[in-house]
Chain A
Amino acid sequence: MFTTLKMLSGGIFLAIFSLAVAHQAGAQEMPDVIEIDSLSHLYEGVTFDHSMHVDLAENCSVCHHQNAGVPVQDQNCAGCHAGTTKSHIVSCGQCHPVEPFSAEYLRQKEADVKRYHRDKPGLKAAYHQNCMGCHDDMDGPTGCQDCHARTEAGDKLFHAGDFAPQPGVAQSGHH
């Protein structure tokens, strides 16, 4: 009977411990690879190695602000967001709008007089500002095509690749 009690308590202890660990790391919820392609048109989607970045980053707040449960480090934010807990909003697109300058969004923003974040970047800008900041400091990829190759539509817009101007063709210009 003593042995059964020991095993039972040990088992319960192990269960709680593993759940705690899992909860801490969020291992069940954290994806290894994320396809970031909701805006892809001129460029292909990005195959984002999430687990590699998890290893590189000090903590979740480096990219996810305070949404992943780690308190925010920036002094400007801590004033309001110091005691924050993990929210169900983790992906960028849940807060950063795809069209930050549409008439409707601007109207909505200005109507809400109590709103603090009037300068929130749109989704495309949020992606690039968040990623490029670190990439610049840590010698990560900084070229446009280092992270996402250009599509045919992109080549057409940039007059690049197959759509590049033919060499030797006279271009209008003065002198």
Chain B
Amino acid sequence: MKGISRRRFLAASLAGGAATTLTLSKKAFATGTFEGYPEGMGVLVDLTRCVGCRSCEAACNKEQNLPAPAVPFDDKSVFDQTGHGGQKRRPDENAYTVVNRYEPKGAGGPVYRKVQCNHCNEPACLTSCFVSAYSKTKEGAVVYNSKVCVGCRNCMIACPFQVPGYSYSSAFDPVIKKCIFCYDTRLKNGKPPACVESCPQGVMTFGHRKELIKIGHERIKARPDRYIDHVYGETEVGGTGWMYLSSVPFDQVGFDTTMGKEPIISNVKDFLGTVPMVLAIWPALFTGFHLLATGKKEHHDEDQSHAAEEEAEK
């Protein structure tokens, strides 16, 4: 007998085949196909209605027990505040939502935009968190567990909307802080978030995400002169729970329009998905090679000793 033994060959094939099948079955879910839970809620933010009154900021501050602001919530001078590099206000540890003012050319007046967590269908923050601090609830909220958070800030890098804030002010226990869709106090009980309820102009419409997409398109259809024909967040980065309508092109009011439809996880999922398969198959494969390479020599010795025995018996 030359080469590998049948037993060894079968064992190696079985191991390799099992590993391949088991790891391949995990790749059944393609990226970007999750359209949200059936009961997932969302909010449609109609920027044509916003007048920049900041009632939503005030309501959020109260609902989430945030610290008192530096200036009253009816103070419009905050719209002129700029941060590093001239950037406008963004949500931080003290304000889970902010309203910014934009003056796009040809708009005939200022356009106001409310910024908060968009509660994505496939959140980048969740996929980047290695301690699994984030979770997407069936009501549609992306919430986080501060007790689990280690404060690494990977999610702040991953989020395409630069939403999560960080409690830099805390010396010993800095954690992520962001909008939670009022999950604990309201959404869990079927109630709309505080900002939605507070808005005098009906900027925000709360409802099932699927229904809101229809409403958004109906609004555009009813008044095509008033709206840009796009519901921002319907498909961006796999779809978001909070979506926007606007009268001016979205990139003129601070939205990133270059993101594409694939969720952020698509950038790494294919690569990472092959790791289990590699770890299972390569040992089996190279064991096989090793056996093939060394098996001949062993059998040759056996044959020789066999032959020697036969010789001796004769």
State the A residues within 8 Å of B (CB).
76, 101-103, 106, 110, 118-119, 121-122, 124-129, 132, 142, 144, 157-161, 164-165, 171-175
Nearest CB in chain B: distance from A27 CB, A: 32
Asked whether A101 and B201 contact (CB < 8 A) given A158-B58, A158-B72, the answer is no
Nearest CB in chain A: distance from B138 CB, A: 14
A159's contact among B69, B93, B215, by CB below 8 Å, is which? B69
Please give the number of chain B residues whose Cβ is less than 8 angstroms from any Cβ of chain A in the complex.
Answer: 43
A119's contact among B75, B169, B199, B219, by CB below 8 Å, is which? B219
Asked whether A118 and B211 contact (CB < 8 A) given A101-B197, A132-B201, A144-B53, the answer is yes
Asked whether A101 and B73 contact (CB < 8 A) given A125-B199, A157-B58, A165-B68, the answer is no
Q: What would 10 more interface pairs be, CB under 8 Å, given A101-B192, A103-B190?
A: A118-B215, A121-B202, A127-B200, A128-B200, A157-B73, A158-B55, A160-B72, A165-B68, A171-B70, A172-B94
Interface contacts (Cβ under 8 Å), in number, total 88
Is the Cβ of A158 less than 8 Å from the Cβ of B202?
Answer: no
Is the Cβ of A122 less than 8 Å from the Cβ of B73?
Answer: no
State the B residues within 8 Å of A (CB).
49, 51, 53, 55, 58-59, 61-62, 67-75, 84, 92-94, 168-169, 189-192, 196-197, 199-202, 205-208, 211, 214-215, 218-219, 222
**Chain B residues, Cβ within 8 Å of A124:** 200, 202
Q: How far, in whole Å, are A76 and B223 apart by their CA atoms in the complex?
A: 9
Is the Cβ of B222 less than 8 Å from the Cβ of A173?
Answer: no
CB-CB nearest in chain B for A127: B200
Q: How far, in whole Å, are A107 and B205 apart by their CA atoms in the complex?
A: 15
**Chain B residues, Cβ within 8 Å of A132:** 51, 201
A110's contact among B49, B53, B61, B211, by CB below 8 Å, is which? B211
